[in-house]
Amino acid sequence: MVKPLSSALLAAIIGAALATSAFAADPVTLRIGDQKGGNRSLLEATGLTKDLPYKIVWSEFPAAAPILEALNAGALDVGHTGDLAFLSIYAAGSPIKAIGGVRANANTQAILVRNDSPIRTAADLKGKRLAGTRGGWGQFLINATLEKAGYKTTDATFAALGPVDAKIALIAGSIDGWAVWEPYISYAVLKDNARIVADGEGLTPTLTFIVASDQAIATKREAIADFLQRLNKARTWSRDHVEEYARNTAELTKLPEDVLARAYRAQDNRPITIDDAVIREFQEASDRATRYGILAKAVDVRQAVDRGFTQAAPASN
């Protein structure tokens, strides 16, 4: 005769079964927005997309703005974006949160000019037509650079252009300068004969956030946490494997390998923990963006982040 299981033992067995089959019992698909193949390439190069307990559907975007629009519309679950671009759409009421991210070196945001331009330093930007993304670090960097040079933010003309249009305009000479980020900087320097006249050193936090919709956080939190852990692990690997990372991204995106290698060396991205120091730094940048008129109203950064995804994660902030 088979002895019946005790209720406590039965409950333990059921609990263990549920825990180990959480993903299988409720298959999850993460819809992830990527820029220039960076995160997808990174995970694939390290083999960390193998044996995933959920499915990833990747979508490629040229910049942060359309990623944020897709998150706001519910078409994506997760994306990555510069912190100020994220805050711009968050301040407008978008149901999203920053859940993790990386810090890059300050020279990964820069103002470019044509090599034959008479502009040599930030002091020469007065009265010029300068392009960048509206509501993001492009616009912020232009204002901050002018201010640092002793000018008013109105002492240059701002042209709101996305990366593709701004690149064409710079080559054609219809703008004098372009505020942008990597890998656009490396492409412009190596392929378009552009020159850097100013960068974000001391002006911008150079953070890139992993952002998720509130809906995805509520319904796919376990999968998102696992994805973020894998991404942070891969990011740490990439710092010592730049050439391999660049080669993999080049195969995926068809961007030149030398451009990507230069960009990745310049960035040296390090995973961050969203802690008090990051929030304070981000709040200071947010307040400055409000003063510039980039943000329509002041934002409490503490309400814009979910710190639970990185609380226990080792990171170099």
C-alpha–C-alpha distance, residues 86 and 70, integer Å: 12
Q: What tens digit of pLDDT does each residue of 133-147 get?
A: 888 889 999 999 999
Q: Which is it for the CA torsion 115, 121, 127, 132, positive or negative?
A: positive
Q: How confident is residue 257, by pLDDT bands cut at 50, 70 and 90?
A: very high
3-state secondary structure (DSSP) of residue 34: strand
| Residue 1: both structure tokens together | 């005769």
3-state secondary structure (DSSP) of residue 51: coil
Q: Does the pLDDT at position 20 exceed 60?
A: no
C-alpha–C-alpha distance, residues 271 and 228, integer Å: 10
Opening angle at CA 174, ends 172 and 176, nearest 5:
105
Q: How confident is residue 205, by pLDDT bands cut at 50, 70 and 90?
A: confident
At 26 the pLDDT is 60
Q: Does the pLDDT at position 10 exceed 60?
A: no
Contact 162, 67 (CB under 8 A): no
- What share of residues in the chain are helix, strand, coil (percent, to 5)? 50, 20, 30
At 19 the pLDDT is 45
| Residue 196: both structure tokens together | 């850097």
At 308 the pLDDT is 93
Q: How confident is residue 217, by pLDDT bands cut at 50, 70 and 90?
A: very high
> Residue type for 104, please?
A
Q: Tell me the DSSP string of 86-111.
A: HHHHHHTT--EEEEEEEE--GGGEEE
The pTM is what?
0.81
Q: Does the pLDDT at position 312 exceed 70?
A: no
At 242 the pLDDT is 95
Phi, psi (degrees; rounded to nearest 5) at 158: -90, 130
Task: Please give the average per-residue pLDDT across 169-197, as a whole number.
Answer: 96
At 82 the pLDDT is 80
C-alpha–C-alpha distance, residues 84 and 21, integer Å: 39
Q: In 21-59, which ranges are continuous DSSP H helix? A: 22-25, 38-45
Q: How confident is residue 176, by pLDDT bands cut at 50, 70 and 90?
A: very high
C-alpha–C-alpha distance, residues 73 and 198, integer Å: 35
> Residue type for 246, please?
A
Contact 105, 208 (CB under 8 A): no
Q: How confident is residue 16, by pLDDT bands cut at 50, 70 and 90?
A: very low
Q: Does the pLDDT at position 244 exceed 50?
A: yes
Contact 71, 211 (CB under 8 A): yes
Q: How confident is residue 197, by pLDDT bands cut at 50, 70 and 90?
A: very high
Domains, the chain, in order of start with CATH, read: 26-104+206-309 (3.40.190.10), 107-199 (3.40.190.10)
| Residue 192: both structure tokens together | 């378009």
Task: Please give the average per-residue pLDDT across 291-297, as a whole number.
Answer: 90
Task: Please give the average per-residue pLDDT across 254-283, as a whole number.
Answer: 94
At 38 the pLDDT is 81
**Cβ atoms within 10 Å, residue 280:** 11
| Residue 96: both structure tokens together | 């999203």
C-alpha–C-alpha distance, residues 183 and 200, integer Å: 15
Mean pLDDT of the chain: 89
> Percent of the chain beyond pLDDT 90?
71
Which of 79, 301, 90 has its CA nearest to residue 211?
79
- List the beta bridge partners of residue 208: 82, 102
Q: Does the pLDDT at position 313 exceed 70?
A: no
Q: How confident is residue 215, by pLDDT bands cut at 50, 70 and 90?
A: very high
- CA 38 to chain centroid: 10
Phi, psi (degrees; rounded to nearest 5) at 152: -85, 155
At 315 the pLDDT is 55
| Residue 18: both structure tokens together | 């549920």
Q: Does the pLDDT at position 15 exceed 50?
A: no
At 234 the pLDDT is 94
